[in-house]
Structure 1
């Protein structure tokens, strides 16, 4: 019986690997096609909407924002369809959707952004009102072009670009973020993925007698300082065009093993829950002096380090305020229960129908134009 049992186990294992490989191949094909029929259509409709940009600017950006959200829902489906869910803990922040809010994320891998899009896509009216601050390399990708037309900012790293890039960010906030009435502003203070930033971060910490962090990298304060100077409200300022809140979000992958974009595309890893832990602060309570702001930000990342290490060691996320965080914590804030982010399948179906049918329409239009020109020639 023993050889037979081994044979059955081997056959089952082989069958499972074959299923996972076939499933990953089909997913790669589908999501590749998804990019080909969604992004060109997006730009075709933006071309049609160009007159609104000159004669009804607010209407144009409203419609562009809606279409941008529809594209983000395609990205959200990548992870959601593979069973890679987002679980939300910490402060309830969803009453701030229509408030000017700065959102800080720790950055671990290429899967961070698709999962963030998945979490945001579940909230109506949010994704179309966001401006992202991303590394300039992202601009060279297919979705980076979409982000560029949306008005996102691409920041250059490195000492040689630092001053010029921060100056450009300040100008961008004044010319795009505020006039276009974007609400949430997303920033990754570490300036890159953890695996890339960690060696330099630890070297800098050792040199400057700072904590040695393993689960996050020391954040860079430059972009945050520019945002505080150019777009944040001051104490007792009721102006609606200024940032009034800051969300500090900690992304925690199970076992400390981040997903990546290839895994989300292929779906070969078992389904899992990635934790988004939210903490909200009133912007007027955050220091504006650069030295004090740096200390404040470093403290937040020391707290992230402790929470992540506790989660990796014990398997449960510590959802409790630290003494430092409690100092800034607003009163009467509800707490999230750790529920998974849920999407409406009907929205996914309708948006796919829109993009597929639009692809057919634009192919017919382009064929008619080509045929007409050919006959004229």
Structure 2
């Protein structure tokens, strides 16, 4: 028992403690903005929330912080999920245009449904997880559509978590692919290019789903889940 308590304390000290501190701080800011600013400007609240969430991005970009965190995880073979949101921020029309302009300037593939992937944090995580008890990477592509407003019109968090009973106007689909870490490129530049190619494939999938939804040939077998029957 004491072994697991010590493990939890070490994980908090070396890894998640800093992230948790910023997460709690941002939640407090979000609550205050909801109570005191929302009655006057909902757009301002959305901007505050977006900037606050993005400000946590640097925590998972620091190489030394990642190294210390993964050192403890590997030492104890701790069962973990590391969630890496490679786009780095939420998509909106302006950010999509900026990303497309950046891609054209840099000679990168121009995506129609996704932002340019930020590969640095992902590459650093994979480097730390190689040859450990963590064997796989799961690639999630999430698609949603509104019955009248169309493909990728975003629901809010309440509508996402309420699912079908309160949100019959939305349909959601999650496409999952699994990759063995041992099969990924070992060179950092090649791994970054692998991520960019994955995003090209994800973008093509979303473009096809825009017109054919779950009838897309790119999906393979589709399983339908019913919530709150």
TM-score normalised by structure 2 residue count: 0.66
The one of 198, 201, 204 equivalent to 2:99 is 201
**3-state SS of paired residue (1:340):** coil
Structure 1, unpaired ranges of 5+: 1-51, 62-130, 145-153, 234-240, 322-334, 346-377
Higher relative contact order (CA 8 A, sep 6+): 1
Shift in CA distance, 177/289, structure 1 to aligned 2, threshold 3 Å: same
CA distance in 2, matches of 1:60, 1:174: 12
**Residue 291 (str. 1) matches residue 189 (str. 2):** yes
CA contact (8 A) 1:248 1:280 kept: yes
RMSD between aligned residues: 3.7
**3-state SS of paired residue (1:278):** strand
The C-alpha deviation readout for 1:195-234, integer Å capped at 9, x for no partner, is: 274244223202111122121111111111111221222x
The one of 134, 144, 147 equivalent to 1:253 is 144
The one of 178, 191, 205 equivalent to 2:88 is 191
The one of 118, 131, 134 equivalent to 1:220 is 118
**3-state SS of paired residue (2:124):** helix
CA contact (8 A) 1:221 1:294 kept: yes
Aligned twin of 2:180 = 282
Aligned residues: 187
**Residue 302 (str. 1) matches residue 200 (str. 2):** yes
**3-state SS of paired residue (2:83):** strand
Aligned twin of 1:141 = 27
CA distance in 1, matches of 2:21, 2:115: 20
What's the CA shift for 1:156?
Answer: 4.1
The C-alpha deviation readout for 1:222-273, integer Å capped at 9, x for no partner, is: 111111221222xxxxxxx432111111101122212221434788643533
**Residue 316 (str. 1) matches residue 202 (str. 2):** no
CA contact (8 A) 1:310 1:317 kept: no
CA distance in 2, matches of 1:163, 1:253: 28
CA distance in 2, matches of 1:224, 1:270: 35
CA distance in 1, matches of 2:196, 2:56: 22
CA distance in 2, matches of 1:282, 1:187: 16
CA contact (8 A) 1:190 1:220 kept: yes
Shift in CA distance, 257/172, structure 1 to aligned 2, threshold 3 Å: same
List aligned pairs for 1:99-178, cutoff 5 A: 138-139=23-24, 140-141=26-27, 156-157=56-57, 161=58, 165-176=62-73
Shift in CA distance, 336/192, structure 1 to aligned 2, threshold 3 Å: same
**Residue 231 (str. 1) matches residue 129 (str. 2):** yes
Aligned twin of 1:57 = 4
CA distance in 1, matches of 2:139, 2:62: 23
CA contact (8 A) 2:209 2:215 kept: yes
CA distance in 2, matches of 1:189, 1:56: 34
